[in-house]
Structure 1
Amino acid sequence: MTLALYLNLGYALQQQGAWDEAITYYQRARDLDPASTEAEVMWANALYAQSRLPAADLERYATLNFSLGHRRQQANDIPSALDYYRQAVAMQPDWADAHYQLGATLQRSEPVAWDEVIPCFQKALALAPDSAVIRASLANARFAQGQLSPEERELYAGVNHDLATQHQQQGNWDMAAEYYRQATRLRPDWAEAHYNLGLALQKAHPGCPEAASIAYQTAQALDPNLAKADISLANLQFGQGTLPPEQLAVYANQNHELGHQCRQAGELQLAIDHYRQAIAMNPQFVAARDSLRLALHAQSNVQIKVSVAKEPVLHPSS
């Protein structure tokens, strides 16, 4: 018999309440493949259901269930992920991240079980009150259910925007876009959030500029004086070959200036991107080439410093 067959038989017996027989088949699966985490976890979960799992093992198997839940979630097997996360919560009720992941995974179920999602996030926040991620997730879930006041919407738009900025600084553009999008939902009149959403979408999906263009246009409509939204739209048009030739020099200069602003704000990679855009629009732009060279040199120094900081500290032997 195969591993999968043993596990399936064990699960079928478990569903019938034949726990002893189920545990026997799970044990046979473990004997067949001692390296199978899934077999070990299903065996442990069956023992736990019968109050036969030693208390000393609860933390270990909560962690293994959590890991399998994450793996199933990444594979888009939401029902299995939920089972594993629920088991992790049952075995370790004071684990904030397990409650949070259970709530986040419930949000991906269809239909969304909001009556379970919100309590999961509330429990997670009670266990980890300083977590901005959990606090934002709870607020976003409440917003989806129409439970946020106007004041709370503005507050949590800022929290989502801050989380997006953190992901942006780490180069996690997909997550940045997700949080920026939530910020715009909570506060639809926030031009800066729409602009940043466009930037994140452009970085995350460079081959699909339509969504980024819509975000930039929305930002521009909300704040006609937001120059970087206009520049970003022009850059998209340039990439598509639709920017009028007579505007190239103008937007090359504006990209160069925006690059300076980004560098002064500590956004070195964005500065480099704008300097490169300026050069692409005007290959004879000497000042932009000089600015790019200096920015790349500064970036190289930063990377060297980070690399050195990550090296282990060697202590002389005593």
Structure 2
Amino acid sequence: MPAACPVQSDGTGQEKESGMSTIESLLTRGIEAFGAARYDEARGLYAEVLRRDPSHGIANYHTGLIAGLAGDHDRAIEHIRRGIAGNVPEPKAHYNLGTLLHQRGRYNEARQAYLRTLTLMPGYVNALSNLADVEYKFGNLGRAEEYARKAVSLAPAFFMAHNNLGNILKDQGRYTESAESYRQAMQHRPDYAPANSNLLLSLGYDMRIDPAIYFDEHKKYGERFSCEPVAGNAVDKSPDRRLRIGYVSP
């Protein structure tokens, strides 16, 4: 079978239409692979789209998401920003950008991304909860409480939002309210360790609490999260071992 000849211009613009058709075909296959979680395949297809059109919105956005899943956050931020500049219409594009910036400690940029998300989708509870955490980190406790309360009012079962609200109330010395928020988080997700440990911390600060209640909560925590001793050979001492980094959810 003979090799395909490159498209030559005949002055009619048909070669441009053919090139666009190739981009659309690559994009369709990339979206299909991305949706099926075949990320290596999708990455290659999107790379070919971006070789032809570096500003392509969807190809940049999905490339950014794939980079984020691989832990390459700086590259993810770069491509998602290009996707947004390429008119990706999804509010979640701004939200995903915000979460990546949030994880990198770039809180002011994260705040702007979450606010943009909420402009496009005012009731998006994930953005509200994360924005509450950003304001909490800036020390804006009143504003943080407002966002967290709005999140739990819209999604009463959203355990992370209850945990965020508990943190905000705890830092204001409102220990009875913070304990109730942590218990709400635990009601909806009993195995959510941050809420369990935060409850113990909040009860420990509250000088009015009955020591028997505090002891009982410690006992419950031990029953939920006790673990087997680590085997002596479980530690990988190889200098080439991969560093494991855990992001602590707000």
Contact 1:194 1:219 in 2 (8 A): no
Structure 1 88/237 Cα, relative in aligned 2: closer, same or farther at 3 Å? closer
Q: Which residue of 2 aligns with 1:84?
A: 79
Query: Which residue of the partner structure matches residue 69 of structure 2?
Result: 74
1:141 to 122, 134, 144: 134
> Gapped runs of 5+ residues in structure 2?
1-22, 34-40, 227-250
Check the 8 A contact 1:69/1:80 in 2, yes or no: yes
> Are residues 1:187 and 2:175 paired?
no
| Counterpart residue number, 1:270 | none
TM-score (norm 1): 0.45
Task: Give the count of matched residue pairs.
Answer: 184
> What is the CA-CA distance between 1:220 and the residue it aligns to?
6.7
Q: Look up the SS of the partner of 1:100 in the other structure.
A: helix
Larger radius of gyration between Structure 1 and Structure 2: 1
Give the aligned partner of residue 146 of structure 2. 155
- Do residues 233 (structure 1) and 218 (structure 2) align? yes
What's the counterpart of residue 117 of structure 2?
124
Q: Does 1:38 align with 2:43?
A: yes
CA distance in 1 between partners of 2:153 and 2:85 (Å):
33
Cα distance in 1, alignment partners of residues 99 and 224 from structure 2: 37
* C-alpha distance in 2 between matches for 1:102 and 1:82: 6
Q: 1:114 aligns with which of 83, 89, 107?
A: 107
1:192 shift after superposition: 0.7
Q: Pairwise mapping of residues 17-36 of structure 1 onto structure 2 (< 5 A)?
A: 36=41
Cα deviation, residue 203, structure 1? 0.7
Matches within 5 A, 1:1-318: 36-49=41-54, 62=58, 64-109=59-104, 112-146=105-139, 148=140, 150=142, 152-162=143-153, 165-167=156-158, 176=159, 178-188=160-170, 189=174, 190-196=178-184, 203-204=191-192, 212-213=196-197, 215-216=199-200, 218-219=202-203, 222=206, 224=209, 231-236=216-221
The separation in 2 between residues aligned to 1:219 and 1:163, in whole angstroms, is 27
Matched residues in 1 for 2:73 and 2:60: separation?
14
Partner of 1:135, secondary structure, is helix
Cα distance, 1:96 vs structure 2: 1.1
Matches of 2:145 and 2:123, distance apart in 1: 19
Shift of 1:113: 2.6
The percent of aligned pairs where both chains have the same amino acid is: 18
Q: In the aligned structure 1, how far is the partner of 2:74 from the partner of 2:114?
A: 19
Over aligned residue pairs, what C-alpha RMSD do you find?
A: 4.1
Q: Which has the higher helix share?
A: 1
Provide the TM-score with structure 2 as the length reference: 0.56
